[in-house]
Amino acid sequence: MANEIQIQVNGEPRGWRAGGTVADLLSDLAITTERVAVELNLEILDRKDFGQRSLREGDRVEILGFIGGGCGTKGESDGRER
Amino acid sequence: MDANDRLTIAGHEFRSRLWVGTGKYKDFAETKKAIEASGADVVTVAVRRVNITDRSKENLLDYIDPKKYTILPNTAGCYTVEDAVRYARLARAAGISDLVKLEVLGDEKTLFPDTAGLIEAAKILIKEGFIVLPYTNDDPIVAKKLVDIGCPAVMPLAAPIGSGLGIRNPYNLKIIMETVKVPIIVDAGVGTASDAALAMEYGADAVLMNTAIAGAQHPIAMAEAMKYAVYAGRLAYKAGRIPRKLYATASSPIEGML
């Protein structure tokens, strides 16, 4: 059995099998690869490289997608007139 | 709607002059219904971490078909050039198009744009081939700078995001419309249908809103109201309004009176 490594996915620590690729991780998480962006240690990956990039100990992976939003979603003021 | 009255920005053609955001709705079903009622064919979305712990959660794009709508990702919530550029790149990597609604916010209380940061981020992204639609202040000088560096449209605010105050500076908006020769999309601050109609009557090419619809007591009904308001305002603009005069001008002839 492959060695287990520790990685971080969307800020959460997670055990992962050594040699597993980004595509494997997405598949394990039941995330379809279209419509997501993956950042590996701050580098945005090309979708066609998901299957080639294997993850290493300490890697930080961010998986992002689209959610509902208009403007200024974060830190929105309460909207009351002052 | 007049099928020939299309809005074109950097080769992208839009049917609708009402663009809508997808935030703040009760659920995706309501989002979908409101968008349908609004007639909008451009919808904005934000880029955020995918929920990896609960995969049963539904995805917005299961409800809003990217084949039917132009999905316009924004950099909402970004307060620095670096963050805005990072989110724009992620949005492109997530794979819809090169379009991005660029926001670089100045502070949390007003959510006014940091226009210096906006110009800087726009320059970087345009160099990388993005089609940058910048959310900007109602400042004609900044609007001109954004166009000069290559933005194919500008999106000045009517009032602070979510404030519902309506157009606070109509004269500046008019100056922007006269100053730049690219489409103007009035973005943020609209409160009700008359605000949207007014923006269009002034000569805006489109209006983008979210809270005015999503925050209304009956969002789907308000979405429909906005559709007609934008349409009416557009028609009135094209029809050419009468000048304002201080005194009356009779509209019935004197001839034939007793």
- Report pLDDT digits (tens) over B171-227: 999 999 999 999 999 999 999 999 999 999 999 999 999 999 999 999 999 999 999
CB B169 within 8 A of CB B138: yes
> Which residues of B are tagged catalytic?
101
CA B245 – CA B258 distance, rounded (Å): 28
Higher-scoring residue by pLDDT: B122, B60: B122
Please state, rounded to an integer, the average pLDDT across all residues of chain A.
81
Whether B75 has a pLDDT exceeding 80, the answer reads yes
A–B interface: beta-carbon pairs under 8 A? 149
Nearest CB to B49: which of A34, A62, A79? A62
DSSP H helical segments within B99-192, as ranges?
115-127, 140-148, 170-179
B residues 38..57 contacting A (CB < 8 A):
44-50, 52-53, 55
Residue A35 has what pLDDT?
82
CA–CA min distance B58, chain A (Å): 10
Tens-place pLDDT, residues B5-60: 899 999 999 989 999 998 888 888 899 999 999 999 999 998 888 888 876 667 78
Using an 8 Å CB-CB cutoff, list chain A residues near B21: 68-71
CA–CA min distance A43, chain B (Å): 10
Residues B21, A36: C-beta atoms closer than 8 Å? no
Using an 8 Å CB-CB cutoff, list chain B residues near A12: 52-53
Residue B54 has what pLDDT?
74
Strongest mean pLDDT among A12-16, B92-96, B251-255 = A12-16
CA B106 – CA A7 distance, rounded (Å): 34
Nearest CB to B44: which of A9, A65, A70? A70
Residues B94, A75: C-beta atoms closer than 8 Å? no
Q: Does B258 contact A at CB distance below 8 Å?
A: no
Taking CA–CA distances from B25, the nearest residue in chain A reads A68
Please state, rounded to an integer, the average pLDDT across all residues of chain B.
92
Nearest Cα to Cα of residue B131 among B210, B14, B33: B14
CA B211 – CA B190 distance, rounded (Å): 8
CA B230 – CA B199 distance, rounded (Å): 8
Q: What is the CA radius of gyration of chain B?
A: 19
CA–CA min distance A10, chain B (Å): 7
Say what the ipTM of the complex is: 0.82
Tens-place pLDDT, residues B51-67: 888 766 677 888 888 88
Nearest CB to B94: which of A29, A30, A35? A35
Nearest CB to B46: which of A34, A36, A67? A67
**SS3 label, residue B57:** coil
Residues A66, B160: C-beta atoms closer than 8 Å? no
Taking CA–CA distances from B83, the nearest residue in chain A reads A42
CA–CA min distance B227, chain A (Å): 17
Residues B53, A71: C-beta atoms closer than 8 Å? no
The average pLDDT across B229-243 equals: 96
